[in-house]
A and B are shown apart, each in its own frame.
Chain A
Amino acid sequence: MRIDIEKVARLARIKLSEEEKLIFGNQLEQILTYMEQLNRLDTQGVEPTSHAIPIFNIFREDEVRPSIPREEVLGIAPSQEDGHFKVPRIIE
Chain B
Amino acid sequence: MEYEPVIGLEVHAQLLTRSKIFCGCSTSFGEEPNTQTCPVCTGQPGSLPVVNRKAVEFAIRLGLATHCRIAPFSLFARKNYFYPDLPKGYQISMYEHPLAENGFIEITVNGIKKRIRIIRIHMEEDAGKLKHGETPEKFPYSYVDFNRTGVPLVEIVSGPDIRSPQEAGEYLRRLRAILQYLEICTGDMEKGTFRCDANVSVRPVGQKEFGTRTELKNMNSFKHVEKALEYEIKRQIELLRSGEEVIQETRLFDANTGMTVSMRGKEEAHDYRYFPDPDLVPLRIDERWIEEIRAGLPELPDQKKERFIQQYQIPEYDAEILTSSKAMAKYFEETVALFPEPKVVSNWMMVELLRELKRDEREIDQCPITPRHLAGMLILIKNGTISGKIAKDVFEEMYRTGEEAEKIVKERGWVQILDRGEIERAIEQVIEAYTKQVDEYRKGKEKIFGFLVGEVMKKTRGKANPQLVNELLKKKLKE
Contacts and interface: CB of A to CB of B under 8 A. Distances in A.
Interface of A: 7, 11, 13, 50-51, 55-68, 70, 73-74, 81-92
A59 B19 contact: no
A59 B25 contact: no
B39 A58 contact: no
Interface string B96-113: 000000000000000000
Nearest to A87: B84
Contact of A60 (B36, B52, B140, B146): B52
B75 A74 contact: no
A57 to B, nearest CB: 6
Contacts of B271: 7, 11
B143 interface: yes
A62 B142 contact: no
Contacts, number: 126
B39 A68 contact: yes
26 contacts: A11-B271, A11-B273, A51-B281, A55-B281, A56-B283, A57-B285, A58-B50, A60-B24, A60-B50, A63-B18, A63-B24, A64-B25, A64-B26, A67-B36, A70-B34, A70-B35, A70-B37, A84-B145, A85-B84, A86-B141, A87-B141, A88-B140, A88-B142, A89-B136, A89-B140, A90-B142
Contact of B144 (A11, A13, A87, A92): A87
A56 B282 contact: yes
B132 A91 contact: yes
B72 to A, nearest CB: 11
Interface residues of B, number: 51
B419 interface: no
Given A62-B17, A67-B35, A70-B32, A87 B52 contact: no
A90 B84 contact: yes
A13 B19 CA distance: 32
Given A65-B25, A88-B142, A91-B142, A57 B19 contact: no
**Main SS at interface, chain B:** loop
B141 A89 contact: yes
B130 interface: yes
Given A51-B276, A70-B34, A81-B143, A59 B24 contact: no
Contacts of B142: 86-91
A70 B31 CA distance: 12
Nearest to A61: B53
B194 to A, nearest CB: 20
B136 A92 contact: yes
Contact of B131 (A51, A63, A74, A84): A84
Nearest to B50: A60
A70 to B, nearest CB: 5
A59 B26 CA distance: 17
A13 B53 contact: no
A91 B34 CA distance: 21
The listed residue with most A CB atoms (<10 A of its CB), out of B37, B50, B56, is B37
Interface string B135-171: 0100111111110000000000000000000000000
Contact of B143 (A50, A57, A70, A85): A85
A59 B140 contact: no
Contacts of B32: 70, 83
A7 B271 CA distance: 10
Contacts of A85: 34, 84, 143-146
Nearest to B23: A65
Contacts of B18: 62-64
B25 A67 contact: yes
B140 to A, nearest CB: 5
A73 B143 CA distance: 14
B132 A58 contact: no
Interface in B184-210: none
B132 to A, nearest CB: 6
Given A51-B278, A60-B53, A62-B54, 20 more contacts: A11-B80, A50-B75, A55-B281, A57-B283, A58-B51, A59-B52, A60-B24, A60-B50, A61-B52, A61-B53, A65-B24, A67-B35, A73-B42, A81-B143, A87-B141, A87-B143, A88-B140, A89-B136, A89-B139, A90-B142
